[in-house]
Structure 1
């Protein structure tokens, strides 16, 4: 029977995470599994707890949203340890990409009996941040600004906070001139954003990269070009289904490594948590993480 360590970040939606864990924890223990819970002080500390538990042979449960999933999964990337997710955050986009069930009993069955399968992770490097590893995507532009607004929202949660953040960001955004280098080939891009996606989802269920797969060894690079603001709001709505990729204002590239820079200070984010400015390099680490799914 498996031994689990659950990592919960009480400073980032931890109350919801703890509540979600209670039901799953009961089911795991009733089945005879061992479970201990660790409360982290920060996402960095969450990664340290994850590496320690993984080194002891435990399945490490990331309890919360994409931020803690990325911190725990990134820490376990390349170690051979196994990650399980208990989705309880604002976005849960990586759990959505894995098609994990929302029903606690179904999720507990996967955690108890599912076979670990390899998925890709993303190594992120920039001049102002230490190397880090994330799971879902790296995005540079108006969406990073929108995510910053959403994270700071005290009144709204979930998709509503992202939509409100997006409206606020678009009204002040002016197109940036990007240089996007994919596997050594440079591309000029004038527009709103560049997204290097491992998962097809970001921003609380928006389908930014419908063709992205977490286990194909490639990043899907989505570029939204300059367009009238009215059309950009239409594109935002089409992110709900992924229909935006058929528009001429959207370009898509695929590759293993992408470097993104711009002609001015442009923010970038990763898995909803990294808040920095370009340039940034993202490269796929194929099959680097074992996940229960």
Structure 2
């Protein structure tokens, strides 16, 4: 039997034009396997709402055509159902898609759907917010907040924002409980990694796995400003954990307290939180095509 597949398209993610995407699908998607439909988002949470409706209707596959934010909305709506998620990477960093080995070329990503390769991956929650690739507090959350207001998004915009803001950014003190063991750390930022990378092959937690039932808590300690570039280059070389300013601890249940109200991000989307957060992992809870 053919499977109903819904492509939910974010027309502005990554600053990439997607007007021709349905024609690409009609050309390369195997119509012996799928019956394709298309829907476009036009506001925040629209992808989540449309996915909820698709799940109710029994749609077998919902494909997020966008970046990690669009993927987050689709995956959040799919959790707990029998619907399978697909991904066509079309964002600024495409962290989760890269970690899954999904082709960044749209044609190749569509052809990959025809192979029907499925995989169960872990998911996570930060307070009431679900995330699938990466969450964080500190500098990266601050930059995510600034980045959201940029007209021209993309990797270069992210880098420019980081360089312009790092001079005045002040680290904070955090009390961290990981599976019952307590740590007190001054931190430039804390990343909670389900996959190994933010996106663009910047690996903050090179040994993180999507299906090990664990999260990698990466504490970036305060470092001299002149090392900012080399700290970034370490991520692209997959050697971040070799820096004396980086501490990575694996865990399942993480509580983080700070003296100030925490600004955080989930899959690159900035959120404001209180002074205490709880992070948990839900092993093998999302089925994806890759």
Is TM (by shorter chain) over 0.5? Answer: yes
| Aligned residue number for residue 263 of structure 1 | 259
Measured against aligned partners, the alpha-carbon deviations of 1:172-194 in whole angstroms (never above 9, x if no partner) come to: 11110011111122211102011
Q: Structure 1 residue 97: deviation in Å?
A: 0.6
Which stretch shows the higher mean deviation, 183-192 or 90-99? 183-192
| Aligned residue number for residue 141 of structure 1 | 138
Change (3 A) 1:11 1:2: same
Aligned length: 287
Which of 215, 220, 230 aligns to 1:219? It is 215
- Quote the Cα distance in structure 2 between the aligned partners of 1:216 and 1:64: 26
Which of 85, 88, 92 aligns to 1:86? It is 88
Matches within 5 A, 1:110-129: 110-125=112-127
| Aligned residue number for residue 150 of structure 2 | 153
| Aligned residue number for residue 240 of structure 1 | 236
Change (3 A) 1:18 1:165: same
- Quote the Cα distance in structure 2 between the aligned partners of 1:14 and 1:3: 28
RMSD: 2.0
Q: Structure 1 residue 18: deviation in Å?
A: 4.3
Change (3 A) 1:219 1:85: same
| Aligned residue number for residue 45 of structure 2 | 44
Asked if 1 retains the 8 angstrom alpha-carbon contact of 2:99 and 2:196, the reply is yes
1:6 aligns with 2:2: no
| Aligned residue number for residue 279 of structure 2 | 282
- Quote the Cα distance in structure 2 between the aligned partners of 1:85 and 1:289: 13
Unaligned stretches of 5+ in structure 1? 126-130
TM-score (norm 2): 0.91
| Aligned residue number for residue 65 of structure 1 | 67
| Aligned residue number for residue 54 of structure 1 | 55
Q: Structure 1 residue 277: deviation in Å?
A: 3.3
Measured against aligned partners, the alpha-carbon deviations of 1:140-193 in whole angstroms (never above 9, x if no partner) come to: 0001111222222224x3211121121123111111001111112221110201
- Quote the Cα distance in structure 2 between the aligned partners of 1:66 and 1:25: 24
